[in-house]
Amino acid sequence: MSLTLYSHWRATAPYRVRIGLALKGLDYGHVSVNLAEGVQHKAAYREINPQKLTPALDIGGDILTQSLAILEWLDDTHPEPPLLPADPLGRARVRAMAGIVACDIHPLNNLRVDRALETIGVSDADRRKWAVRWIADGFAALEPMVARDGAGFAFGAAPTLADCVLVPQVWAAEQRYKLDLAPYPALRAAAAHAAAHPAFVAAHPDLQPK
């Protein structure tokens, strides 16, 4: 099956999927969708994803959207190496970590939300505070979970769905918002450990077409 990923180099949701594809050892074509330049609003991309968001994954004619759904699809269709533990409690904990980032942090500080806040007159300083607040809240929730369940990676000694989602968010927090990660030592250590893994290196924003 031929795979083509529609991705923006610095957006964290496609970064998650790039990590998943690399962990599964899958080759894929790459189409750059530059969100900062508004390429997602053009007709050509709206045919791929009417929601005008990245990522989208063409799996040979069918288009998948939503990064978590795509990562679960990767795990359903290419079970090795697994992105989820075998036991239900472990699976729930990994998915909860992913959910904290994907539902409680990222939706509140992505590009479209930043622009919407700007439109209703929220200042640069208040927009930065807004973004940092949700990241800090989410990281505070993740820290004891990673401290309890991590063993190198965020959950256990092998990369999971949690790392696919956590590493891009930590990258954004540091690069974009200069967030101090000192209050989250377990999370910071897990993200650094994962970031050094070859699949995470290959998926890094700096190595993507722009």
Interacting residues with a copy of itself (CB under 8 A): 50-51, 53, 59, 62, 64-70, 72-73, 76-77, 88-89, 91-93, 95-96, 98-100, 102-104, 106-108, 113, 116, 120, 122, 126, 130, 133, 137, 140-141, 144
CB of 166 to a copy of itself, least distance (A): 14
Nearer Cβ to a copy of itself, position 99 or 152?
99
Question: How far, in Å, CA of 45 to CA of 41, rounded?
Answer: 7
CB of 12 to a copy of itself, least distance (A): 12
CB of 204 to a copy of itself, least distance (A): 23
Residue 90: exposure state from Cβ atoms within 10 A (0-12, 13-18, ≥19): middle
Nearer Cβ to a copy of itself, position 53 or 179?
53
CB of 65 to a copy of itself, least distance (A): 5
Element (H, E) at 65: strand 63-65
Nearer Cβ to a copy of itself, position 137 or 174?
137
Residues 6 or more apart whose CB falls under 8 angstroms from that of 173 comprise 135, 139, 179, 181
Nearest residue to 188 (alpha-carbon basis) of 207, 203, 209, 169: 169
For residue 198, what are its two tokens?
């070859």
Nearer Cβ to a copy of itself, position 112 or 210?
112
Residue recorded with tokens 């250590």: 189
CB of 196 to a copy of itself, least distance (A): 27
Number of neighbours of residue 1 by Cβ within 10 angstroms: 9
For residue 96, what are its two tokens?
């909860």
